A and B are shown apart, each in its own frame.
Chain A
Amino acid sequence: MAVETKTAPVLRCQHLGIQFGGLKAVDDFNLEIGESELVGLIGPNGAGKTTTLRTITGLEKAASGSIVFDGHDLTKITPSKIITLKLAYVPEGRHIFPQMTVAENLEMGTYADKAGMAGTMEDVYARFPRLSERRRQLAGTLSGGEQQMLAVGRALMAKPKMILMDEPSMGLSPLLVQEIFDIIQEVNRAGITVLLVEQNAKMALSISNRAYVLETGTISIEGSAAELMDDPRVKKAYLGQ
């Protein structure tokens, strides 16, 4: 069942276990993502998808197992240093800085590496013309879709090798969801590896190369996106067919 990655893995989680107050949230989680892949991680609410991403980026502590990104053991790195390894996380619920302007939010994206900022902001504005129009506006006054774009834009400011996307479609209209997914594909085509966590399994599988299904803290199914779309279990539970 295991699928070989095309190239050397950029991110590899092995036997990852995460605990919450003595309860096992995630158990023996294994995942491998190759360079420039777009990999989906789908599963029901409460399966531990967000917890896993928060643990990869150091916001939660792993109880056991290893997380290796680009040759670095992430479990041994101060959380605020993870962005300097060029691993960015666009968290669930966007987490922009509401009382800062759009421009300031983007600027914060290069906090760890001010030197790398040159030109990046114009690239982000070119990709998101709507943010460009609103650069002096407070981020808290943006619409949900614009905030999501800002969160992605802020992550791009750090020129990441890999982006973890957590529920980018949450709370957005179908039209905006399409727009955000187009952006994710574009980002991936530009060579950035993407791990996409989504409840909207259909959308996620439609743009992913491969995908994992996380159920109650363990990976239950994995394979290419096409395989998963044909898998009767996935069809029944996540695609509503």
Chain B
Amino acid sequence: MAASLFVQGLINGLNQGAIYALIALGYTMVYGIIRMINFAHGDFIMIGAYTLFYTIPLMVNAGMPAWMAVIIAIVVCALVGVLVEILAYKPVRKAGSMSALITALAMSIFLENLAMVLFGAKPHNVQAIFQLPTVRVGSVSLPLNVLLTIAIGLLIMLGMQFFVKKTNLGKAMRAVPQDKDASTLVGINVDRIITLTFAIGSGLAAVAALMYCSTYPRVTNDMGSMMGMKAFIAAVLGGIGVIPGAMLGGILVGLIEIFVKLFAPGWYEAVTYGTLIVILLVKPSGILGKNLGEKV
């Protein structure tokens, strides 16, 4: 019985972790390229979730599978991400990290309140996305949509790792934070790469919204802030700026949350934040983070 409880916890933890990891990926990519914590990033899950809420019925009525709505959600999130970057972040980019941080916090509050004005403060229920059965293996129940979520998450993270390591654009994304002048000199349009990074990060938040809504089909205007905070912790825990760090951190935070909830429900946040504190005391750059001296 204990073993089946463990397996159940593991699966739920991985599900939760995969969602956190995808969001953490967004934080880490933006941090990786312009050394800025985009505190509004969590709210892109909310934008993605609202888009799903409105587009899933359209998809279903048009006779298409509900998950196809995620394509629209990715496009909407990417566009809003680009818009936010160009209108709010780009003008303060040269003004220092504190201005950028405050702008990002303000953007988060703005997006949450804009959503409240547009969609109301009442929670909405998102229609079921995946109509998949639950399989029982021994005494463990395996909802197939949870397994699918984990698979999608892993696939996207591996895809991102490949993109950044092997493709031309991915290499440009790694080159820009290392040396902006040199990047320009070899022909990289630095502003365009930064915008692209925001588009990808925000698009990933739409996928995270899909994964989240398939487990917890509820949309509120402030759903992104708590999720965003946890994912931010995941990114820092794993080592912000490195993609495998976001994956590891996300999955760790997800597992900690689910397992602590199993045994001591009131303690999971204390344990999550406690783990962060301990890890940062031992290794300030995070588990997989590289401790790089500032290059002059």
Contact = CB atoms under 8 A, between A and B. Distances in A.
A108 interface: yes
A228 interface: no
Interface size class of B (residues with CB under 8 A): 10 to 19
A104 B171 contact: yes
B187 A100 contact: no
B171 A80 contact: no
B22 to A, nearest CB: 25
A114 interface: yes
Contact of A100 (B168, B174, B185, B189): B174
B187 A97 contact: no
Nearest to A89: B185
A189 interface: no
B178 interface: yes
27 contacts: A57-B185, A58-B184, A79-B184, A80-B187, A80-B189, A84-B187, A95-B179, A95-B181, A95-B185, A96-B179, A96-B182, A97-B174, A97-B179, A98-B179, A98-B295, A99-B178, A100-B171, A100-B174, A100-B178, A104-B171, A111-B171, A111-B172, A111-B187, A112-B186, A113-B187, A154-B186, A158-B187
B187 A83 contact: yes
Contacts of B187: 80-81, 83-84, 111-113, 158
Given A100-B175, A104-B171, A109 B186 contact: yes
A59 interface: yes
Interface string B151-191: 00000000000000000100110110011011011111110
- 10 nearest A-B pairs in the assembled complex, by CB-CB distance: A112-B187, A95-B182, A83-B187, A80-B189, A97-B178, A111-B186, A111-B187, A79-B184, A108-B186, A95-B179
A100 B179 CA distance: 11
Given A83-B187, A84-B187, 7 more contacts: A91-B182, A95-B182, A97-B182, A100-B175, A111-B171, A111-B188, A158-B187
A137 B172 CA distance: 19
Nearest to A58: B184
Nearest to B169: A111
A180 interface: no
Given A83-B185, A111-B186, A99 B174 contact: yes
Contact of A59 (B171, B178, B181): B181
Contacts of A78: 189
A104 B181 CA distance: 17
B186 A98 contact: no
Contacts of B171: 100, 104, 107-108, 111
A88 interface: yes
A128 B261 CA distance: 60
Nearest to B179: A95
A60 to B, nearest CB: 10
Interface in A81-131: 81-84, 88-89, 91, 95-100, 104, 107-109, 111-114
Contacts of A114: 168
A158 B186 contact: yes
A80 B184 contact: yes
A83 B178 contact: no
A177 to B, nearest CB: 22
Contacts of B181: 59, 91, 95
Contacts of A80: 184, 187-190
Interface string A174-218: 000000000000000000000000000000000000000000000
Interface in B260-296: 292, 295
Nearest to A104: B171
B168 A111 contact: yes
Contacts of A111: 168, 171-172, 175, 186-188
Contacts of A113: 187
Contacts of B188: 80, 111
Q: Which of A79, A80, A82, A89 has the most CB of B within 10 A?
A: A80
Q: Which of A82, A95, A112, A113 has the most CB of B within 10 A?
A: A95
